[in-house]
Chain A
């Protein structure tokens, strides 16, 4: 199986296999959620610390903004069918 994976990996490098399409989308969506939510959270934390006297809600708002943004991206990628493969993977 190790031999068979190699050409598969090669094929994947050039063109992702069709059955792994959704999995990848999922991976990307999750990662983006995490990054963006964290980013929003961090922004919110910073804002809360700087502007809002360490209040919690700016952090949550920030998290929400990030998660929302990631969601939206994932949703767009899922809706676009296999086209997000090009957009997301090829960038």
Chain B
């Protein structure tokens, strides 16, 4: 809204535009808010439609404002209005000033309007815009006056009342004169402080109404005295008062007796009825005195006065009687009350004593009960303690029993152990004997074993021997020998014997004696051929020996020669006898070619001899073992 209002204003501040704005505002204000619209009427007095704005020289503008109003939209499209024919002499500064004022005016107007409409903007405006608060306040006040037109008087009255606070204190003194309502209006109503005066007057009235009859009487008395005094000389009071007093006093003048009546009444001031009577009577008297021919009524009045006095006396008498009776009753009541109080006291005492007794009894009973309970508790405690002690004793007993049992068991055990040890020693002896026996049997079994072994060994040896001797051809006897070796089971002698045998002997076997003999014959013929050879013989010598050996003589067996022929014969003899060993020795004595030729045969014989020796050794060993065991 602000924008819509200000934007065109900035666009051109020419007359037509400025006239358009109020219309716009008016329409929108009327539509949105009635109050605002009203406010705007107040605000936008100066730019009334049709009239030229006082600030701008738009009166001379070529375009009449009415046409613009009708075609507002068309005008917005129009190019900016031709430059206003402003006084060019004063120049641009004046124009600027005018624009400035107008702009600020619109801005202020718009913002005031907005501030009146929205609270947020109001806060903003009053806080940040200079003189914004004053403006808004002014408009708000105006609005307020419009709504409450008679607010101004009240508004004026209230602060006045607050201002004159001290004065009314004096007035309540005269408020007691309840019948002088007119006077109050005339004399005391101050135009400046009516409300408070009224209030104070009312206060006084209420006070007088609520006041005790004595007070009222006192006030009346005062008034009378006042009037009396006024009648004598005092004229310091205001004229109206004086007049009033005179007007009241003068009719009373003839009825001076009234004062006597009232004096009479002083004796029983308490009686309200009498007072009322006096009052009415006084009124009548005043009325009568006010009348011109008061003299007529003076006699009846006096009579009435007398009657009244009588009545008053009667009343007083009655009252006195009543008082006396009341006093008597009171005394009686006092007595009865005292009696009853005494009685009550007595009763109370009795009750207290009984209560005391009962309480004491109860206390005793309670005490006894407590003592009983305590004793019971003590008993139970004692019993508990005893039980505990007994339990403990029992436990100890049980422990002792257990201990004894244990000891007994220990003793029994030790005894048993001792006994057992005694017998065990015997048992151990027995077991030792048995062990010895076992050893013996084992030894015997060893003997048997060794015997068996030796037997087996001998068997194996026999096997070897059969293989060696009885075989037609040389046969290997490795298996037999292995058996022998195993049976010997690490016998050093046997092993040594076996080791002494040439490996070729048991690998290929050894020739039998017959074979050896046959081979000897062959060897012997060859040796005989070479028997005549010299030490280092050539072909010729060989051939000579070969030829000559044919023609040589055969020698006897018993020949004692060192030559080859005799050796051969002796060897043959030995071989025939079966003495291979000697034959081998004999052959070994050969020299030269004869020895070379008989070398193989000798080796064979040696092998046989070795084997035989080994076998014999083994056999001897086995036999020895048998002997050793035994």
Contact = CB atoms under 8 A, between A and B. Distances in A.
A4 B607 CA distance: 17
B600 A19 contact: yes
B196 interface: no
B561 interface: no
A74 B508 CA distance: 35
B596 A20 contact: no
A15 to B, nearest CB: 8
A19 B526 contact: yes
A21 B473 contact: no
A48 to B, nearest CB: 28
Nearest to A20: B526
B305 interface: no
Interface in A1-24: 3-4, 7, 17-23
Interface string A34-77: 00000000000000000000000000000000000001001100
Interface string B472-486: 111000000000000
A81 B539 CA distance: 12
A59 B542 CA distance: 29
B138 to A, nearest CB: 161
B473 A3 contact: yes
Interface string B515-542: 1000100110011011000001111111
B599 interface: yes
A79 B600 contact: no
A3 B509 CA distance: 14
Contacts of B598: 18-19
Contacts of B125: none
Nearest to B546: A26
B526 A23 contact: yes
A83 to B, nearest CB: 10
A25 B542 CA distance: 10
A91 to B, nearest CB: 20
Contacts of A75: 538-540
Nearest to A74: B539
Contact of A17 (B473, B537, B546, B600): B600
Contacts of A21: 596-597
Contacts of B546: 26
B537 A22 contact: no
Q: How large is the interface on A (under 10, 10 to 19, 20 to 34, 35 or more residues)?
A: 20 to 34
B542 to A, nearest CB: 5
B125 to A, nearest CB: 148
Nearest to A82: B596
A18 B600 contact: yes
A78 B539 contact: yes
A78 B473 contact: no
A29 B596 contact: no
B478 to A, nearest CB: 16
Contacts of B527: 19
A73 to B, nearest CB: 9
Contacts of B519: 19
B192 to A, nearest CB: 179
A7 B508 contact: yes
Given A4-B473, A79-B538, A19 B515 contact: no
Mostly helix, strand, loop or mixed at chain A's interface?
A: helix
A22 B538 contact: no
A58 B373 CA distance: 177
B281 interface: no
Contacts of A71: 539
B593 interface: yes
A78 B546 CA distance: 13
A29 B537 CA distance: 14
Nearest to B541: A78
Interface in B484-523: 508, 515, 519, 522-523
Nearest to A6: B473
A78 B526 CA distance: 15
Contact of B515 (A4, A20, A22, A81): A4
A34 B517 CA distance: 36
B597 A22 contact: yes
B474 A7 contact: yes
B106 interface: no
Contacts of A17: 600
A29 B530 CA distance: 16
Contacts of B99: none
Contacts of B529: 22
A19 B528 CA distance: 11
B87 to A, nearest CB: 166
Contacts of A79: 536-538
Contacts of B515: 4
A7 B511 CA distance: 11
Contact of A81 (B472, B522, B596): B596
Contacts of B25: none
Given A3-B473, A4-B515, A81-B596, A18 B601 contact: yes
Contacts of A23: 526
Nearest to A33: B539
Nearest to A21: B597
Contact of A18 (B538, B542, B596): B596
Interface string B583-602: 00000000001001111110
Nearest to B524: A19
A3 B472 CA distance: 10
A75 B538 CA distance: 5
Contacts of A20: 526
A67 to B, nearest CB: 11
A82 B598 CA distance: 12
10 contacts: A7-B508, A17-B600, A19-B519, A19-B597, A21-B596, A21-B597, A23-B526, A75-B540, A79-B537, A79-B538
Closest 5 CB pairs of A and B: A18-B600, A75-B538, A18-B599, A19-B526, A19-B523
Given A3-B472, A18-B599, 15 more contacts: A3-B473, A4-B474, A7-B473, A7-B474, A18-B596, A18-B601, A19-B519, A19-B597, A19-B598, A21-B597, A26-B546, A75-B538, A75-B539, A78-B542, A82-B596
